[in-house]
Amino acid sequence: MFDQNSPEIKVALDAVRKASQLVRLVQTKTFASALTKGDKSPVTIADFASQGLVAHLLSQQFPTTALVGEEASDALKAPGAEKLLEQVTEYVGRFVPGTTADSVCYWIDRGAAAPAERFWTIDPIDGTKGFIRGDQYAVALALVENGLVQIGVLGCPNLTEARTSEPGGPGSLVIAVRGQGTWLNTIEGFDPGAWRQIRVSPQAAPAQARLLRSFESGHTNVSQIDEFADQLGVQAEPVRMDSQAKYAVLAAGEGEIILRLLSPKQPDYREKIWDQAAGSLVLEEAGGRITDLDGKPLDFTSGRILVNNRGVLATNGLLHDKALQALAAISA
């Protein structure tokens, strides 16, 4: 069992659970309001509010520890965004009484820090398009020290038992602590005495490998994933799911392989640290393995972007070497 009395663990769990409740609340209000960032991905009220809330809660306990986050408040301060800022402030204020527009922008912008020897990294909503569809998304928080993820927490409000899609269900709160395993609880009705350890699938036969494939295809190569499946001899039906919720599902044994190949439209794309940090430890501590497409470990010392890695391969461990061989074959 992990140390529930650790200050870092306590604040990480509290922050992710509250942020998950906040974004679920926004989702139930079915807000259509969204902005468009430079990379064309939608940014919702929930993205901003989630990052602001998490940043504030972390700063209360660890004011000098850097936070590396996805969002910045510039869009909220732009002309015409007054209503959006008002809504973000209102939602954060439900969890932090006395929140003002200035304070929420300040908290969001704490995420602009550069990675240091010790830092937190937050993806306030990983899988924003899934969130907008009312499907899977995750709040992802990690603590990184000297390039190693020490704590990874995923809040998946629409995922039950880290296995089943259930919008409106109890949700899944997943934590991994280096050397102490991966553990599952619920977001709603959270009970600190109800943690249950989860493990990856024992499936070693490539034909039975279930690929966790995204609905969205912007950062991957769909046709090459098909080639990979053929090369590996996969016959099992894939599991369709967006966001780092896939890592929770893989850690719980409901799939065997996740691939992030490079899209031909974005051959130079590199992963952001907040897209992989929490999920990578959740998988590893459950017995799985994660590397880039060349078999190299993910390098969290290179700044906000994983510039030293190409794509991602995550597996239950037993199938990793065969998956790397299949990747090499289709790239030859």
* Active-site annotation, residues: 47, 128
| Sign of the four-CA dihedral 70, 71, 74, 79 | positive
| CA proximity to 246, closest of 285, 202, 215 | 215
Residue type (1 letter), 138: A
Q: Are 300 and 144 in contact (CB under 8 A)?
A: yes
Residue 58 tokens read as 């972390």
Task: Please state whether 146 falls in left (phi above 0), alpha (psi between -120 and 50) or beta.
Answer: left
Q: Which residues pair with 29 in a beta bridge?
A: none
Q: What CA–CA distance (Å, rounded) separates 296 from 231? A: 21
- In the block, tokens 């009705």 appear at 189
Q: What CA–CA distance (Å, rounded) separates 217 from 73? A: 27
Q: Give 230's contacts (C-beta < 8 A, 6+ positions apart).
A: none
| CA proximity to 17, closest of 44, 57, 70 | 57
Q: What CA–CA distance (Å, rounded) separates 273 from 292? A: 13
Q: Are 37 and 14 in contact (CB under 8 A)?
A: no
